[in-house]
Amino acid sequence: MASHRRPTQPGLGQSTRVTVLSAAAATAAAAFAAPASADPADSGKARVDRLFAQAEKATEEYDKADERAGELRRQVRDAQDSVARGQERINRMRGALGAIAGAQYRSGGLDPSLALLLSENPDSYLDKAAALDRLSERQSTQLRELQQEMRRIGQQRTEATRKLAELERSRVEVARHKRTVESKLAEARRALNALPTADRAAFDRASRGGGRTPDLGGAVPASGRAAAAVLAARQALGRPYIWGANGPSGFDCSGLMQWSYAQAGVGLPRTSQAQRYAGHQVPLSEARPGDLVVYRADASHVAMYVGNGQVIHAPYPGAPVRYDPVGMMPVSSVTRV
């Protein structure tokens, strides 16, 4: 898996900004950006677009929280396994010391120092030098190892308890983001259904995409892994947008990027905000196939550049993975993985 490199962060040049803004203006109707017109239908389309954008931002927050919850689940499982293994070691050590105690008892008496075997907490007894003086060197070593192991297991139990509490807080956060996403999507659907019939039909046509492969101009990817990621992204064309999904049957925007690069053997972080730092940034004017194009100031959407001013991306619920112009919305940065 490729390592994540903290990139340099050059700003987009002025000429690039002009290009991006011009392209965005040329495709504003398809993207349903808010126009200057006071037409109520236009305002309705702008509201639908804004709600989908808010839902996408909430989806990225959900992805981040869900990824953290998954990592915490692994940590809790590892901590619990470690505690269980440690307890087995303690039981074996107690068994060995118990055998010594039994032998001493049968031979005429139990060394008082071995009475600690009857206690769950030998610390206070072991700390007394007089007790250790009555033990053989081997017994003393075994008892100190038992003491150390019990302390270590106690610390691990405390850490596991802390991780469990953090996991529960993370689950609450995941549920909260899920409710936000579902609320925004429901509001967007209501706004979409309220559009005039002709505007709703136009939105539906745009959501289905053209279905044709654009002229990609023979652009060359920056690396073999980028070429493999582009090939994977093309294989995903037509698959549905499913919020929180990272393939292979459906995707959200960052899930498509993560899945595509995984097919190339490269591990990307889960969210678009983190993916923008998964390589080094380049000017939009130098974008090559496989580069990640991150949109909006909050980096809430990401697509893959494929050449000749086109990207592949998972747009929003109801729209399949498709090609669109790179300037479909304001570009925040371009990252070469």
The tens-digit pLDDT sequence of the chain (337 residues) is 444 444 444 433 333 333 332 333 333 333 333 334 444 445 777 888 888 888 888 888 888 888 888 888 888 888 788 778 878 877 777 776 666 555 555 545 545 555 554 455 555 555 544 444 555 566 667 777 777 778 888 888 888 888 888 888 888 888 888 888 888 888 888 888 888 888 877 777 776 666 677 888 788 999 999 999 999 999 999 999 998 999 999 999 999 999 999 999 999 999 999 999 999 999 999 999 999 999 999 999 999 999 999 999 999 888 899 999 999 999 999 999 9
Phi, psi for 213 (deg, rounded to 5): -85, 120
CB 48 within 8 A of CB 34: no
Tell me how far apart the terminal alpha carbons of the chain are, to the nearest angstrom: 12
Distance, in Å, from the CA atom of 129 to the CA atom of 277, rounded to the nearest integer, reads: 58
**Please, where are the H alpha helices in the chain?**
14-26, 28-31, 40-106, 123-126, 129-133, 137-193, 197-208, 224-235, 253-262, 272-275
Tokens of 130: 């007089």
Largest CA distance in the chain: 103
Domain 32-208 in this protein, CATH class? mainly alpha
Domain residue spans of the chain: 1-31+217-337, 32-208
CA distances (Å), origin 244, targets 65, 172, 184, 277: 11, 16, 14, 20
Secondary structure (DSSP) of 5-49 = -PPP-PPPPHHHHHHHHHHHHHTHHHHT---S---HHHHHHHHHH
* Residue 300 half-sphere exposure toward CB, CA atoms < 13 A: 18
Query: Tokens 């983001």 map to which residue?
Result: 177
Distance, in Å, from the CA atom of 233 to the CA atom of 264, rounded to the nearest integer, reads: 11
Domain 1-31+217-337 in this protein, CATH class? alpha beta
Distance, in Å, from the CA atom of 154 to the CA atom of 236, rounded to the nearest integer, reads: 49
Q: What is the pLDDT of residue 32?
A: 32
Q: What is the per-residue burial (b if ≥16 Cβ within 10 Å, else e) of 281-316?
A: bbebeebbbbbbbbbbeebbbbbbbbbebbbbbbbb
Q: What is the pLDDT of residue 160?
A: 82
Catalytic positions, please?
253, 301, 313
Phi, psi for 136 (deg, rounded to 5): -70, 165
What's the Rg (C-alpha) of the chain? 30
Q: What is the pLDDT of residue 35?
A: 38
Distance, in Å, from the CA atom of 260 to the CA atom of 306, rounded to the nearest integer, reads: 13
Distance, in Å, from the CA atom of 199 to the CA atom of 216, rounded to the nearest integer, reads: 30
Q: What is the pLDDT of residue 9?
A: 41
Distance, in Å, from the CA atom of 237 to the CA atom of 228, rounded to the nearest integer, reads: 15
